[in-house]
Structure 1
């Protein structure tokens, strides 16, 4: 074995153009959601901002919800299983680190949080996808033993608490503009979730 990695296949000009167009759509979508809100934005708004036609938009996405899902997934792609909170007596530091990362993520991209929140409230399909993500988290926590000795019902409660607290605090900060101390909020969420994950 020589130790050299296999060379990645070169992208064709067409592939690069397709990726660039997709990136323009995502950028346009985020700008449109930030300016007008998820509910008011149409596919035509996003396509116009991206400088493409409606047909080209639909070559890449099946609607504005798909654009928002891709924005969320792309932004969160840097997260790994190691970032997930862990239960048990020594799990508190991992829970705190998780909430720190979540708070920093959403406060650095408030327009993404706002659009996600609006989409869950107004779009049944998007809300169902959000619940599917929560269900996937329950399954993942069971698989990796995030809460040693916990039942599925206990894990489900902890996942629900985690999502609810993040949503409530982010809504207060980013939508209502209610001043909260970052450290105190992270400590409160950590204490509450840690209590359910013991």
Structure 2
């Protein structure tokens, strides 16, 4: 019976070993990304080097290249994370039960609080987003606009071109506002500013309703 127990324990240890290695790999990857964000913010994306990043992370260049081919990979991963989170937020708008001021304001609160998790990345992107990613961002904006325009029957009081224009303006307005919010430029007026944004959204969405 003891031998069986030892074999079972050995099998469990072998099963856990890959999990521990995977966790360590993820930890190292997150540490490199966090270090890169600090370096990008301090020196600017263009001036930052891989050596700067590994020094900040306390890692070796070889370790960096086990995870990334260069600093552009890190920016791309940050972009994917931000776009996925933003897309989910705009999709949630399409699921709101109504367009009352209170409902829109509640959605804005969640949008802003969720974006706080990407605060540093948003600041970096607002100032230093590489040109190639700017072009990709425009494609994501189209998806955000489509998400906001659901369900289509709620937009029926507008013509389709007018609905699309209004949705585009609302999405880009909020996207432009967020970096300033994350930078703390509206800290003193935060609740009042969100109240104003909710009013703007409601007025834009409910205008011309028959």
TM-score when scaled to structure 2? 0.66
The equivalent position to 1:159 in structure 2, one of 168, 173, 176, is 168
Partner of residue 199, structure 2? 191
Unaligned runs of at least 5 residues, structure 1: 1-8
Q: Is the 8 A contact 1:114 1:174 kept in 2?
A: yes
**145-154 or 23-32, larger mean C-alpha shift:** 145-154
Q: Is the 8 A contact 2:31 2:57 kept in 1?
A: yes
Describe the superposition over 1:50-97 as per-residue Cα deviations: whole angstroms up to 9, x where unpaired.
333445434433443442343455476598468632499931344222
Give the length in aligned residue pairs: 187
CA separation of 1:20 and 1:172: change in aligned 2, threshold 3 A: closer
Partner of residue 54, structure 2? 47
CA separation of 1:87 and 1:109: change in aligned 2, threshold 3 A: closer
Partner of residue 67, structure 1? 74
The equivalent position to 2:125 in structure 1, one of 109, 116, 139, is 116
Q: Is the 8 A contact 2:41 2:124 kept in 1?
A: yes
Describe the superposition over 1:18-57 as per-residue Cα deviations: whole angstroms up to 9, x where unpaired.
2222112122122223433444323332233233344543
Whether 1:30 aligns to 2:42 is no
Unaligned runs of at least 5 residues, structure 2: 1-14
CA separation of 1:135 and 1:16: change in aligned 2, threshold 3 A: same
- Deviation of 1:11 after TM superposition, in Å, equals 6.9
CA separation of 1:140 and 1:118: change in aligned 2, threshold 3 A: same
TM-score when scaled to structure 1? 0.69
Q: Is the 8 A contact 1:33 1:115 kept in 2?
A: yes
More helix by share: 2
CA separation of 1:169 and 1:71: change in aligned 2, threshold 3 A: closer
Compare CA radii of gyration and give the structure with the larger one. 2
